[in-house]
Structures are given as C-alpha cells and as structure tokens.
C-alpha cells in the first residue's frame, strides 16, 4: 500500500486573468439579455431562483476587489491553497445561502449589479493575479492568484447552473473550463490520496487517487472517465454518480473505482 504526494499544480497568471475576464463577460452578456420573468425561474439549486443565483455571482465576482481592499493578513506564507478552498465550501454553504437570499432581496437590477461587479473586478485584476500578495479569506489566507483561480471555478460552475435554469447555453471560456476541471480533479486527489485509481477527464485532466496497490505500467485496473461538464456536475453535486453511469456519461472499470462515489461531491 502506498500514498503518493501530489505536486501542486501551477497556474499561469496571464491565462487566469484572461479566462476570468472572459467568463465574467459571458455571464454579463447572458444576464443582460434576461427579461424580468426569467429571474423567477428555478435553478435546480434548493431554494434558489435565477435572481438568487445572480446575486451569488455578483458577490463572488466582487469578492476579489473586496478582499484586496482589506488589510493584508500577517505573515508571508499562505495558510490555504486552492484544494483547501474546494474542500471547505461545504462548511460555508449555509452562510452563502443566507447571503444569496439577502442580496437578492436588496438588488433591484441584477444585470446592473453584475455589470458593476465586472467593472470592479477588471480594475483590480492585475493585483489579483500576483503570487506575492496574500488575501484574508474567511478560512485563513491565500495567495491572490490562488483565490482568483477559485473565482474561475465559481463562475464556470454557476454559468452551467444558469444554462440549465434558462434552457439556453451560457458560453464557457475554454481555459476557464479547463482550469475548473483541473482544480476539481486535484481536490479529489488531495481528499483521497493514492495511486490505485485513475480519473480521466479528457482533454483537460488525469489524476490518480485512492490508497491501494500502486499502478505503474500499462492500462490501470481501476479507471473512471467522463467529459468535462459531467465531471464538473459530479464534483459540484449537480448530478449523481448512478445517473451519470446510467446515462453513459461516466465510465467506471475496476472494483475500486466505484468507491470514488463515496467521496463526491467535493463542492458544498
């Protein structure tokens, strides 16, 4: 039995910047075109209509400018990384739900609110992709670049939520989607480290996880493979393991691979 320590993934600041600005712009364009009645549509997220989803997006986009305006945390090393953020979201779910409902009630024009948040984000994005700046996040401290990567995850996952709620596609930036897929795959590998099972999300990610006999040559005996959208939905709890298998979107081979279902979702 062996457990392999995963080397942290690096993110290119310029690509993170461009992907986030593009994804926020795609969201803004989608929301700008909504008629008032569409804000009342159910999203599939418990208790959330489209207006609550947009209010949450406004807060998530605005969080980078807001945190950059706060005093820097003590020390020069981050206490948390991107995987820590993913795996801690469940503990903040109740607070985020309360904020979404409170913000939705206070926002008279959701489209204007998102436009304003996008403008604020663009004004600070160069600082937001620095690796030498620390931000005081609620569960510790993070490098600004790492926190900005988490904004990619938020905007991509919720763009997909908006697509399903509205019945019309919200465009996903390719690099934003790729980064989201990789972040979620890395978080799974950190949650259940090991090398007995390979998780493949072509064309963006391959990770090994689950403690057990380490595979070193040829085709691994335990493989989980799916497409980027299905993986994102599995990791965020938007679709269940059994349904993904039944519809053919998730392919599972090997007696250990199916146990990964017990470790999903990753996002709360």
Q: Where in the chain is the domain with CATH 3.30.1050.40?
A: 180-263
The Cα 190–Cα 188 span in angstroms is 5
Calculate what percentage of the chain has a pLDDT beyond 90.
Answer: 88
Task: Check: pTM over 0.85? Answer yes or no.
Answer: yes
Count H helices and E strands in the chain, helices first: 9, 6
Which of the four CATH numbers 3.30.1050.40, 1.10.1040.50, 3.40.50.20, 1.10.3720.10 does domain 180-263 have?
A: 3.30.1050.40
Distance (Å, rounded) from C-alpha 163 to C-alpha 23?
A: 13
Quote the pLDDT of residue 155.
99
| pLDDT (0 to 100) of residue 212 | 80
Q: Which CATH number fits the domain 13-178, given the four candidates 1.10.10.10, 1.20.120.450, 2.30.30.110, 1.20.1250.20?
A: 1.20.120.450
Question: Which residue stretches of the chain have pLDDT < 50?
Answer: 1-4
- DSSP-derived letter for residue 168 is S
Q: Identify whether 85 is preceded by a cis peptide bond (ω within 30 of 0).
A: no
In the chain, ranges of CATH 1.20.120.450 domains: 13-178
Per-position DSSP letters for 32-77, written without gaps between them:
HT--GGGGGSB-SSTT-BHHHHHHHHHHHHHHHHHHHTSPPPSSSS
């Amino acid at each position: 039995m062996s457990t392999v320590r995963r080397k942290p993934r690096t993110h290119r600041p310029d690509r993170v910047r461009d992907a986030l600005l593009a994804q926020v712009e795609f969201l803004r364009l989608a929301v700008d075109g909504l008629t008032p009645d569409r804000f009342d549509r159910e999203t599939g997220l418990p208790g959330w209509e489209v207006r609550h989803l947009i209010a949450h997006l406004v807060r998530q986009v605005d969080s980078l400018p807001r945190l950059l305006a706060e005093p820097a945390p003590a020390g020069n090393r981050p206490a948390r990384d991107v995987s820590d953020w993913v795996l801690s979201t469940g503990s903040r779910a109740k607070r985020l739900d309360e904020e979404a409902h409170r913000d939705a009630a206070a926002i008279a024009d959701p489209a204007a609110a998102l436009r304003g948040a996008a403008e604020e984000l663009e004004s600070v994005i160069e600082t937001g992709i620095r690796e030498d700046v620390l931000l005081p996040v609620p569960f510790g401290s993070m490098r600004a670049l790492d926190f900005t990567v988490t904004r990619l995850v938020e905007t991509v996952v919720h763009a997909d939520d908006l697509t399903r709620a509205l019945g019309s596609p919200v465009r996903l930036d390719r690099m934003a989607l790729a980064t989201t897929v990789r972040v979620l795959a890395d978080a799974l590998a950190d949650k259940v480290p090991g090398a007995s099972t390979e998780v493949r999300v072509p064309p963006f990610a391959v990770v090994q996880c689950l403690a057990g006999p380490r595979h070193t040559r040829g085709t691994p005996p335990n493989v989980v493979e799916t497409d980027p959208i299905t993986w994102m939905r599995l990791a965020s709890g938007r679709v269940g393991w059994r349904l993904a298998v039944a519809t053919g979107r998730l392919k599972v081979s090997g007696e250990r691979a199916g146990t990964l279902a017990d470790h999903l979702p990753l996002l709360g």
